[in-house]
Amino acid sequence: MHGKKSYTSFLAFLGIVLVFGVLIFQNQKEQEDPVPSLSDVLKTAESEANPPVVQSKVSVPPKPVPQEPLEPQYAADGSPIVFFTSNGFSPAIVKVKAGKSVHFINKSTQGMWVASNNHPIHDIYSGFDQGRTVGNGESFEFIFLNVGTWGYHNHVAPAYKGIVIVEE
Q: Report the pLDDT value the prediction gives residue 133, as an integer from 0 to 100.
A: 94
Q: Report the pLDDT value the prediction gives residue 70, as an integer from 0 to 100.
A: 46
Q: Report the pLDDT value the prediction gives residue 44, as an integer from 0 to 100.
A: 56
Omega cis (within 30) before 91: yes
Residues 6+ apart with CB under 8 A from 139: 103, 104, 105, 106
Low-confidence ranges of the chain (pLDDT < 50): 56, 65-70
Q: Report the pLDDT value the prediction gives residue 66, as an integer from 0 to 100.
A: 47
Q: Report the pLDDT value the prediction gives residue 31, as an integer from 0 to 100.
A: 55
φ, ψ dihedrals at 123, nearest 5°: -105, 0
- Tell me the Cα Rg of the chain: 40
